[in-house]
């Protein structure tokens, strides 16, 4: 697929600046990976259908296309405090589900849907999900974002298998310049190194180049358990280098971060991350 066609078909969901950065990263000597993060709002009691589709149809088919690893994560409500202000109308019961897909190029992202549509094995294995009737859908919506890996961490770092939890964090900014400043804080000012030293082990850092709530950056951390997560954040908050960094006026949260979304997740048994 040529670049001109990709640009033409992508303008509805992204910015030229974001794509320019992505193309430059893809062409540069320090090639950076791309990630797609999908958030499913499942209909009640449809978790088994989604898990069956992902484990038996989607992941095997994507792996056949050379797309791997793929992470699947379930929300951990027992580890996520409820909102301080409950919604006026209680929402329908749902089961939040997150899928993280690692790509090595924009061409992979642009062609994967067509290639899956032509995969007879995938179509058969995923029939119950793919052809769910309108009267009994599997999900309400899928929200998807495409991310470009940070220069300071250009590739996904999947942890070894075992008992572990993950933390997904999204930092929104009031404007593009503010968003770039927060990315600079990680890339150039040393925040990623501070994370690692304090036990906040990153799986990826990415700048959203197409998707929701832009401009934003998204990252994922992993821990052996929730006690380790709390201890690592306590160590980070008192780290001398972090205290010096956050005291710099150009990196003040109130100037460059407008909202933070935080979720603690558990991997599905079949997750490759």
In whole angstroms, what is the distance from residue 65 CA to residue 71 CA? 16
CB 74 within 8 A of CB 95: yes
Q: Which residue has the tokens 């994967």?
A: 112
Q: What is the mean pLDDT of residues 61-72?
A: 98
Give the lowest-confidence range in 72-76, 92-96, 169-173, 247-251: 92-96
Maximum C-alpha span of the chain: 57
**Which one, of 208, 210, 206, lies nearest residue 7 by Cα?**
210
Query: Architecture of domain 16-267 in CATH?
Result: 2-Layer Sandwich (3.30)
Domain extent listing, the chain: 16-267
**Average pLDDT score over residue span 59-80:** 94
**Which tens digits make up the pLDDT trace of 155-204?**
999 998 888 999 999 999 999 999 999 999 999 999 999 999 999 999 99
Asked if the model's pLDDT at residue 68 lies above 50, the reply is: yes
Q: Are 167 and 61 in contact (CB under 8 A)?
A: no
Mean pLDDT of 47-58: 98
User: What integer is the mean pLDDT of 243-252?
Assistant: 95
Q: Residue 6: its pLDDT value, please?
A: 44
**Over residues 2-16, mean pLDDT:** 45
C-alpha to C-alpha distance for 222 and 49, rounded to whole angstroms: 27
Element (H, E) at 185: helix 176-187
Q: What is the mean pLDDT of residues 56-83?
A: 91
Confidence of residue 16 (pLDDT cuts 50, 70, 90): very low
Nearest-angstrom CA–CA distance, 27 and 22? 9
Judged by average pLDDT, the poorest of 8-17, 75-84, 105-114, 246-255 is 8-17
Extract long-range pairs of 103-109: CB within 8 Å, 24+ residues apart.
Answer: 103/33, 103/34, 103/35, 103/36, 103/67, 104/31, 104/33, 104/34, 105/26, 105/34, 106/6, 106/22, 106/23, 106/26, 106/34, 107/1, 107/6, 108/34, 108/65, 108/66, 108/67, 109/34, 109/36, 109/146
Q: What is the mean pLDDT of residues 87-116?
A: 83
């Amino acid at each position: 697929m040529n670049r001109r066609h990709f640009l033409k078909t992508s303008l509805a969901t992204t910015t030229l600046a974001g794509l320019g950065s992505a193309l430059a990263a893809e062409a540069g000597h320090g090639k950076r990976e791309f990630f797609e993060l999908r958030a499913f709002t499942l209909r009640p009691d449809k978790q088994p259908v989604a898990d069956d589709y992902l484990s038996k149809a989607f992941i095997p088919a994507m792996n056949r296309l050379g797309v791997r690893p793929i992470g699947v994560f379930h929300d951990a409500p027992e580890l996520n405090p409820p909102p301080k202000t409950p919604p006026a109308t209680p929402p329908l019961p749902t089961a939040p589900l997150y899928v993280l897909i690692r790509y090595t190029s924009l061409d992979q992202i642009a062609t994967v849907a067509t290639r899956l549509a032509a995969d007879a094995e995938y179509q058969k294995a995923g029939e119950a999900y793919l052809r769910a009737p309108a009267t009994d859908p599997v999900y309400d919506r899928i929200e998807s974002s495409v991310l470009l890996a940070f220069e300071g961490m250009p590739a996904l770092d999947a942890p070894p298998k075992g008992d572990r939890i993950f933390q997904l964090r999204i930092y929104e900014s009031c404007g593009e310049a503010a968003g770039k400043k927060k990315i600079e804080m990680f890339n150039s000012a040393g925040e990623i190194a501070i994370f690692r030293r304090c036990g906040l082990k990153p799986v990826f850092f990415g700048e959203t180049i197409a998707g929701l709530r832009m401009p934003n950056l998204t990252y994922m951390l992993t821990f052996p358990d929730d006690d380790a997560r709390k201890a690592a954040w306590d160590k980070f908050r008192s780290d001398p280098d972090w205290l010096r960094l956050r005291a710099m006026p150009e990196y003040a949260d109130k100037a460059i971060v407008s909202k933070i979304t935080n979720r603690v997740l558990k991997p599905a048994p079949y997750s490759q991350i």
